[in-house]
Amino acid sequence: MSEAPGACAPPLLPEAWTLRSRRDDTADTFTLVLERDGGTAFRFAPGQFNMLYAPGVGEMAISISGDPADGTTLTHTIRAVGAGTRALRQRVPGTQIGLRGPFGTGWPMARAVERHVVLVAGGIGLAPLRPAVLALAAAAEARAAAGLTTALYCGARTPADLLYADELAAWARLPGFSVRVTVDQAGADWQGSVGLVTGLMKALPGDPARTLAMTCGPEVMMRVVATRLVTLGLDESSIHLSAERNMKCAVGSCGHCQYGPLFVCRDGPVLPYPRLAPLLRVREI
Amino acid sequence: MEDLGRLIKTHPFFADLAPDHLQLVVGCATNRRLGAGQMLFQEGASADHFFLLREGRVALELNVPQRGPFVFETIDDDEVLGWSWLMPPYRWHFDARAITPLRYFAFDAKCLRGKMEADHELGYALMQHFLPVIVDRLQATRVRMLDLFGATPGAGPGHV
């Protein structure tokens, strides 16, 4: 499983990519599949992000949510929350989008290979975790044969806000995989769980010394998840979070994403919990 | 009764209860089943039991006018359901509906309250079991009140 590659083109110069398809996932979330002009391969590590440029509107940092083994297309699942993301949603297949990347640190996939893995996603936070899940899914049989498990816990606002519902069901059928989903609120027709995602986390899947956790979602959720994992016996150094800050240059120059001593675009977004924990408790940063 | 005690001891909620306390608790317990869709209790009714779920899922819900039942929490197997029996006025605050077929232990509240009043050590032991559950659910509710997944700043990673 690959480590984080850096941007291959000049890092501040967007490259034109062609939008191959666009799909609405939920009421406010959509997925773009992009193809590089000329078909040159693009390599990234799960957890990394790209800067996507909506022509004439602006540029924004978007995590890569596609399969890291697919070197020909790039997939981004995006929540339409501002002018830039709404403009991206309105792009039609065949048109071009500017792209810089990949940037930042990835999930610790090399360490994950030989460990039980716990993945905890909240809302759109499942998108940056999806490449890690896909990489683990590709290795599911070998991992299961080695006695290794993969536990994915997902929280969403409502059942209609759940991302990748079909894939969640497919992943749950993989050897060694378990997938648990919960929502904050639901109607009487929902047969699944309702509650905070930590309510699903009753125990670690195996020996804590051989377990690794990755979590992505709202910062408060990640703090609660990390606390739960530690309570269940996981060492803090085995927990990895994807940090959230407003990124602009993506190369650690502009300072927009500075978080204490860290530049999230360069030192993150994926960071070990012991590095982030002292900062998460500081209101002023 | 001996079999029931052995079964109740296998439930995580009472797994570490002292044997003499377990014996007192088992004296107030029955082993029950309920079909999917049936109500376990309803808002306003007397909270005359609490429940340990062995298998199945229960929806805690409020009926919202012109909107219908609103599920705000589910309780699954190996979990405890109900604490309104502990405090006056001993009335349920919400509805509880079986989403799936249920197997559960029901504990007679009046019977247990009497034993707790007569044996404060039992009362203390039971409170030690219930309080962490109550606190855990309160903390989870507080976090959920933030509507973290809503479209507000800080609602999700800015890089997605």
Specify burial of residue A99 (Cβ count, 10 A radius: 0-12, 13-18, 19+): buried
pLDDT at A275: 95
Q: Is the pLDDT of residue B94 over 50?
A: yes
Tell me what ipTM this predicted complex has.
0.89
pLDDT at A133: 98
Ranges of CATH 3.40.50.80 domains, chain A: 109-242
What is the average per-residue pLDDT within B4-24? 95
- Determine, for residues A218 and B149 on separate chains, whether the beta-carbon distance falls below 8 Å: yes
Q: At what angle do helices A126-138 and A165-172 cross, to 10 degrees?
A: 30
User: Within 10 A of A140 (CB to CB), how many other CB atoms are there?
Assistant: 17
Q: Which residues pair with B39 in a beta bridge?
A: B97
**Average pLDDT across chain B, whole number:** 92
- Determine, for residues B157 and A128 on separate chains, whether the beta-carbon distance falls below 8 Å: yes
- Determine, for residues A65 and B160 on separate chains, whether the beta-carbon distance falls below 8 Å: yes
Closest CB to B74: pick one of A123, A194, A216: A194
pLDDT at B160: 42
Q: Which residues 4-23 on chain A approach chain B with CB closer than 8 angstroms?
A: none
How far apart CA A198 and CA A228 sit, in angstroms, is 7
How far apart CA A125 and CA A122 sit, in angstroms, is 5
The pLDDT tens digits for A77-136 are 999 989 999 999 999 999 999 999 999 999 999 999 999 999 999 999 999 999 999 999
* Spatial contact of A85 and A182, defined as CB atoms under 8 Å apart: no
pLDDT at A3: 52
How far apart CA A47 and CA A127 sit, in angstroms, is 9
A-B CB pairs within 8 A amount to 118
Q: What residues of B are in contact with residue A191 (Cβ under 8 Å)?
A: 57, 99-100
* A44, A111, A134, A222, A232 from A131: Cα distances, Å: 10, 15, 5, 19, 26
> What pTM did the predictor assign?
0.92
How far apart CA A33 and CA A18 sit, in angstroms, is 9
Report the SS3 class of residue B154.
coil
pLDDT at B158: 45
The domains of chain B, with CATH numbers, are 2-36+46-56+74-88+103-145 (2.60.120.10)
Ranges of CATH 2.40.30.10 domains, chain A: 15-103
Q: Which residues pair with A205 in a beta bridge?
A: none
Closest CB to B156: pick one of A61, A124, A198: A124
Report the gap between the CA of B150 and the closest CA in chain A (Å).
7
Q: Which residues 208-227 on chain A approach chain B with CB closer than 8 angstroms?
A: 216-221, 224
User: Within 10 A of A107 (CB to CB), how many other CB atoms are there?
Assistant: 28
* Spans of chain A below 70 pLDDT: 1-9
pLDDT at B38: 97
Q: Is the pLDDT of residue B154 over 60?
A: no
Q: For domain A15-103, give the fold.
A: Elongation Factor Tu (Ef-tu); domain 3 (2.40.30)
Backbone φ, ψ for residue A244 (5° rounding): -120, 120
Closest CB to A123: pick one of B59, B73, B156: B156
- Determine, for residues A196 and B68 on separate chains, whether the beta-carbon distance falls below 8 Å: no
pLDDT at A8: 60
pLDDT at A283: 81
First to last CA, chain A: 34
B70 touches chain A (CB under 8 A): yes
Residue B23 token pair: 């014996």
What is the average per-residue pLDDT within B38-50? 97
Residue type at A57 in one-letter notation:
V
Domain A109-242 has CATH 3.10.105.10: no
Closest CB to A188: pick one of B69, B73, B78: B69
Q: Which residues 163-182 on chain A approach chain B with CB closer than 8 angstroms?
A: 182
Report the gap between the CA of A242 and the closest CA in chain B (Å).
8
Top residue of B78, B144, B148, B159 to mutate, by most chain A CBs within 10 Å, is B159
B143 touches chain A (CB under 8 A): yes
Backbone φ, ψ for residue A263 (5° rounding): -105, 115
